[in-house]
A and B are shown apart, each in its own frame.
Chain A
Amino acid sequence: MTLGELYLIPFFIYIFSYLFLLSKEKKFYQAFIFLIYAGFIIQSLILVIWFNLHGFKDLISVDWIVFFNAWLTMMVVILFNLFYKAKYILIYVTPLALINLLIGFFAPHNYLTMKPFFSSLDQATLITHIILILIGDSLFALAFIISLIYIFQERRIKLKKNLKLFDKKNHPFDEVFYRGKGYNLELLDSMNYFCLKIGFPLITVGIAMGIYLSSSLFKSFMIIKPIEIMSLITWLIYAVLLHERVAKGLRGKKAAVFSIAGFLLILSSLTFSFYLFPEFHGFK
């Protein structure tokens, strides 16, 4: 079994878990949550096996990074779920991990060799850079989904349309996923803010490391490439968002729109980075 095929195990577990949502019984909804956790545990096992086989030396592989990103996304979501007791985010964010796993399966499995003139410090910096950026991106991915829910729910409250006031109070789905309370804007906004508060410093340090690597590799503080420009624009968006939140109390819909715009830029830069123009990131 190849590594790519291994990615399909959690992929199909996640897909299978969604079938349980079609049911109308509480035990099936709980089975969905159980399967999501099971999928995450299997993802973790694959990660451990991979580390045992390869260590850090073969880290730079597109499929592995995408798989690692899927694992990080699930870890962030599960931690959030435990912390905020909002099980519904599992339903909405798991598809992001699913997409990552699918991309991981189809992505090239050959390892990108690090430039021979990378020192061991540079290599450690590169790994840290990747991990920090990926954790930050996972948090922003979560903020993106939460923001979409926020905008959807805020619109319903504002327009007073399609708003199920009691969320089928006695329906097991509501009981399991919403704790009988449904979405509330304040909690969604608070989760969004939390993602930003944690994600932004990680991204900042990650980008700083990227700049350091760039200067170390190309002997220049910065080379004008789309990925760098986009990263900086993304960073700037999140910086403005954080500043506005802290200084002016920006929250609610505008903050959600910022989060969505920021994550769409992240997606664009990642697409540029890995799939369309890998040379722009300096991999080749």
Chain B
Amino acid sequence: MDILIIGLSHKSADIGDREIVSKKLLTPELRQVFAKKLLNLKDEGNRPLINELVILTTCNRSEFIMDLPQWAVGGNAHFIKDYISGYFFDKKGSDNLFYMHLNFEAIKHLFSVASSLDSMVIGEPQILGQIKDAYNEACEFKMNGQVLNKLFHKAFYCAKRVRTETKIASSPVSISYAAVELSKKIFNSLSEKTILLLGTGEMGKLTAKHFIKCGVHNIYIANRTKEKAHHFVEESFGANEKNYVDVIDFSEYYKLLPHTDIVLCSTGSQDYVLRYDDIVSVIKLRKQRPLFLIDVSVPRNIDPEINKISNVYLYDIDDIGKMIEDNLDIRKKEAETASELVEINVKEFMEWRNSLNVVPVIVSLRNKVKDILEIELSKYISEKKEKDLIINSLTNKILHEPITLIKKAAVDSNETNMLETLKTLFNLDLGKEIKNDNTINKELEKGFDNKNNSSRIKLIK
């Protein structure tokens, strides 16, 4: 019942390495293939190593959030990490690119990620949506279960609290904001500029919206599937914003480049969409007017060599991230408060998770007492209904205090011996006792969702 997170992010790996991982997890199909491989990992006793799995892939991170069965031990976690590392990289030492968090640290990490405390831009809102997408995908692939259901719902709750109870998102610092600020360093007035948005990615959408706020009135959107672009415009932009947005055919975007001042690339392509030679000719046609290219896609869709061309300025997501690192003081201060909130939520989750361990003990103890009472009372009371009522009442009264203490002991990690003592004292054989008892399911279901996939949540965009 250990929670394990293995992953790599902008903090552990550079964009090149992240690209390699992200390319192999680019589509849901690719992710499903890899998820199946992970879920099929077995230990020496041919028992599965992973119970539940969620794969999270964003521009800046790829993470595997897992719930391990009771028999999986520390060594297995390293085995899983090596397997993941070997799947993506051939080079030696690539496992150093991955971090690994277990239990408390893992939960804290996930909650911090969901609350955008671990993001390149602290407090950016996209990450929560991305985690919800990842969770929904796990539901679709039937890879989730009780523990991860509870974990993710708690993560969403934690993120919401952080967002509402701190000022982490109040100061305008995000990739999209940074992109606009960078444009202002190159161009004098944005209102006369033309922007071309390639692709319909989330980051591209936010940046385009921010440009409109800053007075840009000409935005062209090109996507390989034109219908998707139309749908994107319908969904993403308000009535007023739509006046400034036009969808063009993807084959026509090159013709538009000489008249474009800012290109925003946010496609899911695996190859470069804009190459060095394309831009060399474009800049001549532009009579050397500056061209600002922003590549927010991972893998990168604009050839980095383009930045060497005179009067062309190319920024990828890492470049922008580095720019804003120094400008996050306010959010960093708020992040300290947010971390406290995260800690509280992690503790709450840990309490719930630890309480799972005592449920079989409680159920077993109740059954034991009930059995004794049943045998003894049967001698004096023949009517079943009346007898059951008395048994239940007496069981509750006798065990009220001990159960309260057991639950308390479960939360307090120092009291683990108490459970062992209880088992020994009452000679509790957990496996045997609880086999046919529905009470355990009731206890397990208390406070969290069903295992079935109907628990898929509606996304709060």
Contacts and interface: CB of A to CB of B under 8 A. Distances in A.
Interface of A: 153, 157-158, 160, 163-166, 181-187, 190, 248-254
B311 A184 contact: no
Given A160-B322, A185-B185, A252-B290, 12 more contacts: A153-B185, A163-B185, A164-B326, A165-B178, A165-B182, A165-B323, A165-B327, A185-B187, A249-B288, A251-B289, A251-B311, A252-B311
B313 A157 contact: yes
B290 A165 contact: no
Contacts of A248: 287-288
Contacts of A249: 286-289
Interface string B254-268: 000000000000000
Contacts of A164: 326-327
A205 B313 CA distance: 39
Given A163-B323, A252-B311, A184 B186 contact: yes
Contacts of A165: 178, 181-182, 185, 323-324, 326-327
A166 B182 CA distance: 9
A182 B185 CA distance: 7
Interface residues of B, number: 24
B414 interface: no
B404 interface: no
A157 B313 CA distance: 7
B319 interface: yes
Contacts of B322: 160
Contacts of B187: 184-186
Nearest to A186: B188
Contact of A185 (B286, B290, B326): B290
Interface string B175-195: 000100110111110000000
List of 4 A-B pairs having minimum Cβ-Cβ separation, nearest first: A249-B287, A186-B188, A187-B188, A165-B323
B315 interface: yes
Nearest to A159: B307
Contacts, number: 63
Contacts of B327: 164-166
13 contacts: A157-B186, A163-B185, A165-B327, A181-B184, A182-B184, A184-B187, A185-B187, A186-B187, A186-B290, A249-B288, A249-B289, A251-B287, A252-B290
Q: Which of B185, B289, B315, B327 has the largest count of A CB atoms less than 10 A from its CB?
A: B185
A207 B405 CA distance: 101
A190 B188 contact: yes
A117 to B, nearest CB: 51
Contacts of B288: 248-252, 254
B310 interface: yes
A143 B178 CA distance: 30
Contacts of B289: 249, 251
A184 B287 contact: no
Contact of A252 (B182, B310, B323, B324): B310
Contacts of A166: 181, 327
B86 to A, nearest CB: 34
A80 to B, nearest CB: 15
B4 to A, nearest CB: 36
A158 B311 CA distance: 9
A248 B286 CA distance: 10
B300 to A, nearest CB: 15
A181 to B, nearest CB: 6
A222 to B, nearest CB: 36
Contacts of B182: 157, 165
Nearest to A244: B288
A250 B287 CA distance: 7
A210 to B, nearest CB: 33
Interface in B286-325: 286-290, 307, 310-311, 313, 315, 319, 322-324
Contacts of A186: 186-188, 290
A184 B184 contact: yes
A15 B186 CA distance: 32
B167 to A, nearest CB: 15
A157 B327 CA distance: 17
Q: Which of B287, B311, B319, B327 has the largest count of A CB atoms less than 10 A from its CB?
A: B311
Contacts of B184: 181-182, 184
A180 to B, nearest CB: 9
A183 B184 CA distance: 8
Contacts of A181: 184
Contacts of B188: 184, 186-187, 190
Contacts of A250: 288
A165 B287 CA distance: 27
Nearest to A252: B311
Contact of A157 (B178, B185, B286, B310): B185
Contacts of A160: 315, 319, 322-323
Interface in B199-214: none
A25 B286 CA distance: 43
Nearest to A250: B288
Interface in B129-185: 178, 181-182, 184-185
A138 B290 CA distance: 27
Contact of A158 (B287, B313, B323, B326): B313
A184 B292 CA distance: 13
A185 B290 CA distance: 9
B313 A253 contact: no
A181 B215 CA distance: 15
Interface in B321-369: 322-324, 326-327
B323 A184 contact: no
A263 to B, nearest CB: 21
A229 to B, nearest CB: 31
Nearest to A169: B327
Nearest to B315: A160
A20 B247 CA distance: 52
A182 to B, nearest CB: 6
B185 A254 contact: no
A205 B168 CA distance: 62
Nearest to A188: B188
Contacts of B181: 165-166
